[in-house]
């Protein structure tokens, strides 16, 4: 199975499958909208200013939004005044969504052999303990993991207050998992991804 084409009327009429089924399908396969459904989710046109600055460089549109979080940051409505928390949250949500889809579409650990806890205990201090392929750490200005996951299933949640944190994204059995981390935890995982040894990591946090 390569992809699914969704006819939105099947999810609007009475008796259609619950939207949770569509969410499960979208977690596992590429999904495209049929015909007039291409505008589903909103009536606004695509941002022409962004498209002019960052036109598609590929025969697909998969990377069209790659620079959208940076574009949002550069065009914040509060750029000339006092920074507004909601503006930072919107930028970070866009970055989180981008990272989510990158982990979903990228290489994952499904074909890799897991390292058992017993094997980890036997490793020497100079051993490298690398996270699985596709693992990412994203620095955030607020705890947005629960907000992102709630909005994916149509729930409304209050936006959190600004607080430095990090998000850990990884894939397990072809499903993207997300965890909220403290900044120091995010830094530790980032260094493991970069290939530092267990001893090097211990020295960094002992300093």
Q: What is the pLDDT of residues 101-112, one digit of tens each?
A: 999 988 888 777
pTM of the model: 0.71
Whether 24 maps to a domain, the answer reads: no
| Average pLDDT, rounded, for the chain | 80
Q: Coil, strand, or helix at residue 185? A: helix
Whether 191 maps to a domain, the answer reads: yes
Q: Is the model's pLDDT at 40 over the cut of 50?
A: no
- Of the ranges 28-37, 44-53, 58-67, 181-190, the best mean pLDDT one: 181-190
Query: How many CB atoms are located within 10 Å of the residue 88 CB?
Result: 17
Q: What distance in Å separates the CA atoms of residue 157 and residue 85, rounded to the nearest whole number? A: 16
Domain range for 82: 76-206
Q: Coil, strand, or helix at residue 182? A: coil
* CB-based contact 4:25 (threshold 8 Å): yes
> Which residue has better confidence, 113 or 98?
98
Whether 38 maps to a domain, the answer reads: no
Whether 48 maps to a domain, the answer reads: no
Q: What distance in Å separates the CA atoms of residue 127 and residue 129, rounded to the nearest whole number? A: 6
Whether 110 maps to a domain, the answer reads: yes
What is the dihedral sign for C-alpha 129, 135, 140, 143? negative
Q: What is the pLDDT of residues 116-127, one digit of tens each?
A: 777 777 877 788
Give the number of domains in the chain.
1
Whether 44 maps to a domain, the answer reads: no
Q: What is the pLDDT of residues 46-80, one digit of tens each?
A: 577 888 888 888 777 778 888 989 999 998 888 78
Q: What is the pLDDT of residues 148-165, one digit of tens each?
A: 999 888 888 899 999 999
Whether 51 maps to a domain, the answer reads: no
């Amino acid at each position: 199975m390569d992809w699914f084409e969704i006819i939105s009327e099947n999810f609007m009429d009475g008796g259609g499958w619950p939207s949770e089924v569509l969410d499960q399908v979208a977690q596992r396969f590429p999904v495209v909208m049929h015909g007039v459904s291409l505008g589903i989710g909103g009536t606004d046109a695509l941002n022409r200013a962004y498209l002019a600055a960052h036109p598609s460089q590929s025969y697909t549109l998969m990377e069209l939004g790659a620079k959208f979080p940076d574009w949002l940051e550069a065009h914040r409505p509060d750029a000339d005044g006092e920074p507004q928390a909601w503006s930072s949250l919107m930028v970070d949500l866009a970055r989180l969504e981008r990272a989510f889809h990158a982990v979903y579409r990228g290489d994952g650990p499904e074909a890799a052999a897991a390292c058992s806890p017993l094997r980890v205990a036997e490793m020497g201090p100079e051993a490298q303990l690398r996270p699985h392929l596709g693992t990412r750490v994203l620095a955030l200005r607020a705890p947005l993991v629960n907000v992102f996951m709630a909005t994916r299933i149509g729930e409304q949640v209050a936006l959190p207050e600004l607080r430095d944190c990090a998000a850990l994204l990884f894939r397990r059995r072809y499903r993207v998992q997300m965890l909220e981390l403290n900044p120091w935890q995010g830094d530790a995982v980032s260094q493991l991804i970069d290939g530092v040894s267990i001893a090097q990591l211990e020295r960094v946090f002992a300093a």
